[in-house]
Amino acid sequence: MNKKYSIKDIAKLSGVSVATVSRVINDNGRFSEETRKKVQKVIRDTDYHTNFSAKNLRMNKSFSVGILVPDISNYFFANVVQKIEKILFKQGYSTIICNTARDEKKELAYLKMLESKGIDGLIVISGAKAFDISKLKTPQKIPFVCIDREPKDKQNTVFISSDHYQGAVEATNSLFEAGCKFPIIASHSRTSSSSSYRLRGFKDALAKNNITYNKSKNHIVLDSDNITKKLNQFLELEPQIDGIFAINDSIAINVLSALLKIGKSVPKDIKIIGFDNDPQDIHSYPTLSSIKQDTDKIAQVTVDNLINLINHTGITGESITIPVSLIQRESSK
Amino acid sequence: MNKKYSIKDIAKLSGVSVATVSRVINDNGRFSEETRKKVQKVIRDTDYHTNFSAKNLRMNKSFSVGILVPDISNYFFANVVQKIEKILFKQGYSTIICNTARDEKKELAYLKMLESKGIDGLIVISGAKAFDISKLKTPQKIPFVCIDREPKDKQNTVFISSDHYQGAVEATNSLFEAGCKFPIIASHSRTSSSSSYRLRGFKDALAKNNITYNKSKNHIVLDSDNITKKLNQFLELEPQIDGIFAINDSIAINVLSALLKIGKSVPKDIKIIGFDNDPQDIHSYPTLSSIKQDTDKIAQVTVDNLINLINHTGITGESITIPVSLIQRESSK
């Protein structure tokens, strides 16, 4: 009689998956009325519900969630963080935002601070290295979800990201379809899991069009300094270049300005497409084509998964990929 | 012998101002070697220093500071927050960022959350209404500094803001100097203390040029919808308009795109200048003139004042105005 039932027991007794039990408990997602009744009966019969309520009470919930973000001035990050905050607030949770400035020491300091403040859960957004929660005093106590950043141990978490690979394939293909013969990729020197997927998508799209990626001919690395000069030198060495896939819109906008300064006409001489669908894309001249990430969906899926983990009704180990879409504007016509 | 000395007592005994005592204690700002010796002698003689150290110990400092920000996707806010975080982190403080989305209920919820997390100090950035800390359980326990947002009771805080009035005067004057005869102002319908100062600066600059501000003729209100249509209608009614001072760069960029769609040439037909010096200003076509806020200085002054208040060596009731500067680009030539 005193057996402690787990969510796996409930799933087995109900004859459905753990994910379905989780959806029924949180009244979230699709399941039939029949499934709902069946699962709820098992939960009542086993007293599972009181179990996890008691667990929550024991845990002394603070109804606050921490977010580690590498750079709040980046459009994609700010946008996702704001949407997550809005959804969490509606569900009764406060969001504590920490800007880590891509600094590992700072990240660890903020992790410890968040632990000391008694957060119920953690969201980790993109960063250069794999995320490692094991340096905390009680890492197993804080459920966490990773966006765009592969964690060191995927078994403890849920990993959510846009389909960066597919976005890069579509961006590159759109350049070929618009008539480009020699497209290149423009990226930062900094790498991350999302940027490596974008690079892989670009390489595979080249291969499909019978071009073998060659780092010195098909890839320009541009950080914030001397963009116009570097681009000009590259184009003098490789005058056949007629298309640029920029790994994000911030690079794309910089490349666009640099091309105009060099005296190139966009899209006539060189076509260009970015990634992220930054609001400034419609104000550039010409307007900038881009790959749109579905930030509404990323935010919703992130919150759903974190709340499930906090309530002990979620499962870890999953990787969830969110589709992206191509937004064609003047710069790649 | 057991008298508890206050910073005011120290100032009186040293024959200097409270601000000077504060600067000596924090070794921050200008004072003569003679002043330093005099103040330090009084501090030693009165045991003032042990007083406030004991106070800190009693307070059980958490070395965390909260920031309320209305919209992290706004360039100015994100920029100031990042700079504040950087300075605070160097001084051993973590920064907890809360995005209030200009929502009063949310703001109060975050204030209470920050209080419950035991922050040592609070920074409040711009919002529509006067800031009121009195709704907290122990409002007097949390020292706070306001940026760009006039607090309900100025005596409890330090108020720091750019010289919005002067910026608006310079922006408007630059339009007159470039040959404009009929400049207008473009603003949101939302008002704040900074936007009202900017409007006042515009009106006074008109008056100096013998134009009486008339709301229906010199002021267009543009929120995010139908900007091109509204601007077109306004220009049809007032075809003499040849200059626009946009109250921030986000409106300026939208107005610039709308003008190009309407078929107006910038700066030939209509000159335009914004406010904030957003990085995208150099990527628009034509590049956008703007008023630059000194975010380095705002961040430094904010942190200095907050740390002084936290350490009981600061004084409240001050308003500090930070100078701005005019950045001329193509759009207002």
Summarised one tens digit per residue, pLDDT across range B316-325 is 999 999 999 9
Residue of A nearest to B261 (CA): A283
Q: Which two tokens stand for residue A219?
A: 């890839």
Which of A85, A106, A113 is opposite residue B99, by nearest beta carbon? A85
Asked if the bond preceding B267 is cis, omega within 30° of 0, the reply is yes
Residues B116-161: pLDDT tens digits? 999 999 999 977 677 888 888 877 789 999 999 888 888 889 999 9
Residues with Cβ within 8 Å of A197's Cβ and at least 6 positions away in sequence, in order, are A161, A164, A165, A168
Report chain A residues whose CB lies below 8 A from the CB of B260. 285
Is the per-residue pLDDT at B255 higher than 70? yes
In Å, what is the CA distance from B229 to each residue of B54, B220, B233, B263?
64, 12, 6, 13
Contacts of B117 in chain A (CB under 8 A): 64, 96, 117
- Structural contact between residues A125 and A79, judged by C-beta atoms closer than 8 angstroms: no
Of A95, A109, A284, the CB nearest to B283: A284
Chain B: closest CA distance from residue A280 (Å): 8
Chain A residues whose CB is inside 8 A of the B277 CB are none
Nearest chain A alpha carbon to B80: A73
Which residues in B lie closer than 8 A to residue A257 (C-beta atoms)?
282-283
Cβ contacts below 8 Å, chain A against chain B, sum to 92
Residue B64 has its nearest CB partner, among A113, A254, A285, at A113
Nearest CA in chain A to B95: A98
CB contact (8 A) between residue A96 and residue B96: yes
CB within 8 A of B224, min separation 6: which ones?
A: B254
Exposure on the CB side of residue A228, measured as CA atoms within 13 A: 9
Identify the DSSP state of A287.
Answer: P
Q: Which chain A residues are closer than 8 Å to B75 by Cβ?
A: 73
Q: What order do you get walking across the sheet with B144-147 strand by strand? A: A319-322, A157-162, A144-147, A121-125, A64-69, A94-99, B94-99, B64-69, B121-125, B144-147, B158-162, B319-322
Q: Contact A322/A160 with Cβ under 8 angstroms?
A: yes
* Cβ(B331)–Cβ(B178) below 8 Å: no
Are A97 and B101 a contacting pair at CB < 8 A? no
Q: Chain B: residue nearest A251 by CA?
A: B283
Given a contact cutoff of 8 angstroms between Cβ atoms, the answer to whether B308 and B22 are in contact is: yes
**What local confidence, expressed as pLDDT, does residue B333 receive?**
93
In angstroms, how far is CA B279 from the centroid of its own chain? 18
- Looking at residue B29, its pLDDT comes to 65
Which run of H or E residues covers position B219?
Answer: strand B219-221
**Beta B324-327 vs B290-293: how paired, if at all?**
antiparallel
Do residue B283 and residue A282 have CB atoms under 8 angstroms apart?
Answer: no
* Residue A186 DSSP SS3: strand
Contacts of A83 in chain B (CB under 8 A): none
Interface residues on A facing B, Cβ-Cβ cutoff 8 A: 62, 64, 71-73, 75, 78-79, 81-82, 85-86, 89, 94-99, 101, 106, 109-110, 113, 116-117, 253-254, 256-257, 260, 280, 282-285
> Which of A76, A91, A105, A113 to mutate: most B Cβ within 10 Å?
A113
Contact B283 A106 (CB under 8 A): no
CA atoms of A11 and A109, how far apart (whole Å): 39
* Best to test chain B binding among A96, A110, A329 (most B CBs inside 10 Å): A96
- Predicted confidence at residue A49, as pLDDT, reads 59
What residue ranges in chain A does DSSP mark as E strands? 64-69, 94-99, 121-125, 144-147, 157-162, 183-187, 219-221, 243-246, 271-273, 290-293, 319-322, 324-327
CB B64 within 8 A of CB B120: yes
pLDDT category of residue B222 using cuts at 50, 70 and 90: very high
Whether the link from the prior residue into B286 is cis, omega within 30° of 0, is yes
Q: Is A328 exposed, middle or buried (0-12, 13-18, 19+ CB in 10 A)?
A: middle
Q: Do B285 and A280 touch (CB under 8 A)?
A: no
Residue of B113, B249, B253, B330 best to disrupt the A interface, most CBs of A under 10 A: B113
Which residues on chain B are in Cβ contact (under 8 Å) with A96?
96-98, 113, 117
* DSSP codes joined into one string, B80-138: HHHHHHHHHHHTT-EEEEEE-TT-HHHHHHHHHHHHHTT-SEEEEE--SSPB--TTSSS
Region for residue A63 given its phi and psi (left: phi exceeds 0; alpha: psi -120 to 50; beta: otherwise)? left
Which candidate from B62, B73, B257 shows the least CB-CB separation from A79? B73
Lowest mean pLDDT segment, chosen from A270-274, B61-65, B207-211: B61-65
Q: Is A293 left (phi over 0), alpha (psi -120 to 50) or beta?
A: beta
Q: Which residue of A has its CA nearest to B112?
A: A94
Q: The tokens of B121 are what?
A: 């100090």
What domains can be seen in chain B, in order of their start residue?
7-57 (1.10.260), 62-161+296-324 (3.40.50.2300), 164-294+328-332 (3.40.50.2300)
Contacts of B78 in chain A (CB under 8 A): 72-73, 78
> Cβ neighbours of residue B191 under 8 Å, at least 6 residues apart?
B128
The number of CA neighbours under 13 Å toward the Cβ of A199 is 18
> What distance in Å separates residue A87's CA from the closest CA in chain B?
12
Q: Comparing B188 with A8, which gets the higher pLDDT?
A: B188
Give B81→chain A minimum CA distance, Å.
Answer: 9
Name the residue among A81, A260, A285 with its Cβ closest to that of B72: A81
pLDDT at B55 over 70: no
Q: Under an 8 A CB cutoff, do B280 and A253 touch?
A: yes
**What is the nearest CA distance from B285 to chain A, expressed in angstroms?**
6
Check pLDDT > 60 for residue B278. Answer: yes
pLDDT per residue as tens, chain A (333 positions) = 446 777 788 888 899 888 888 777 766 667 888 888 888 888 777 866 555 544 444 446 889 999 999 999 888 999 999 999 999 999 999 999 999 998 888 999 999 999 999 999 999 997 767 788 888 887 778 999 999 988 888 888 999 999 999 999 999 999 999 999 999 999 999 888 889 999 999 999 999 999 999 999 999 999 878 899 999 999 999 999 999 999 999 999 999 989 988 999 999 999 999 999 998 898 888 999 999 999 999 999 999 999 999 988 888 999 999 999 999 999 999
**Distance in angstroms (rounded) separating the CA atoms of residues A202 and A169:** 6
